Amino acid sequence: MSGFRVWGLVPAWVLMLATLMVPLLIVAAVSVAERGAYGGFAWDFNPLSYREILFSEDWDGNLAFDAKYLAIIGRTLLLAGATTLICMALSLPVAYVIATRPPKTKALLIYLVTLPFWVSMIVRVYAWLIILGNEGFVGRFWQWIGGEGTLLFTPGAMLVGMVYSYIPLMVLPVFAAIEKLDPALLEAGADLYASRWTTARRVILPLTWPGLAAGAVLVFVPALGTVLEPMLLGGGKQMTMGTLIQTQFGGARNWPFGAAVALVLMAMVVLVLMVNARRAMRREART
């Protein structure tokens, strides 16, 4: 290996160590530290935080298996999974339409997809608060068609907000994959009497799969840690891992437990990334 190939990577390694590895190790250390009486922590080894995820004291003072944190983890996975699937389903046609426009329109449409990122996330989520509220146009339409109750502060509102927040991260890689499609393959499909549906299923989908997989990771990972949408649009009625971690560092003043939950979240993210990397490697090996 040439010197540059080793030393050229030093800045990247330094950055990784300083901004990822070291903070992660600190979080890991805090998760097994002794909690402070009023928040904070002391450097005494105490791994009880991890036990607390599965076992906690009930109202009678007995230590018992308690599924409440597992339920929160499960809900977070479900929500992030649903967000990812909906984003996939919506972004395929959107990306296809964009990819088949003339270059000028294409550039404009891509610009429009990324436009929301120019505005702070909190402002965008607040906008949904207004749109879905009783006085907002969607809320009013809902009442006009005779809908029951309000749209805000429901799991549905939360999901709408999450899909809205993360869908650009899905559209862009899917668009890139569709754009690389060779039109000759589609024509070949047509020549072989494939219906539009068959072409979509057997030609377009497999060829855009890398884009979808990349988009899925980009959406799923941040969706796991989401805080704003459950708090504002979901009305904070049910905790997710993000809000649970926030509560532990805030009101509960239990930093080690917050750090332990954060590490569980981190482990889930790493797992997703590893599965994805393995699949990518296998794909590469095949081609």
Interaction site with another protein (CB under 8 A) = 36-40, 56-57, 59-61, 68-69, 71-72, 126, 129, 133-135, 149-150, 152-153, 231-232, 235-239, 243-244, 247, 249-254
Parallel/antiparallel/unpaired status of strands 55-57 and 63-65: antiparallel
Task: Tell me the chain's radius of gyration from C-alpha atoms.
Answer: 23
Q: CB 98 → another protein: shortest distance, Å? A: 35
The one-letter amino acid code at 243 reads T
Q: Are 238 and 47 in contact (CB under 8 A)?
A: no
What are 23's two structure tokens? Answer: 């903070």
Distance (Å, rounded) from C-alpha 228 to C-alpha 59?
Answer: 31
Q: Which is nearer to another protein, 72 or 223 (CB)?
A: 72
Q: Which residues on neighbouring strands pair with residue 247, listed in sequence order?
A: none
* Closest distance of CB 79 from another protein, Å: 15
Residue 56 vs 276, nearer CB to another protein: 56
Closest distance of CB 78 from another protein, Å: 15
Instruction: Give least dist CB 270 to another protein, A.
Output: 25
Nearest approach, Cβ of residue 24 and another protein (Å): 17
For residues 166 and 83, the answer to whether their CB atoms sit within 8 Å is yes
Three-state secondary structure call for residue 119: coil
Nearer to another protein, 30 or 221 (CB): 30
Distance (Å, rounded) from C-alpha 187 to C-alpha 194? 10
Please say which residue, 211 or 258, places its beta carbon nearer to another protein. 258
Return the number of the residue (214 or 244) whose C-beta is nearest another protein: 244
Residue pair 216/84 in contact by the 8 Å Cβ criterion: yes
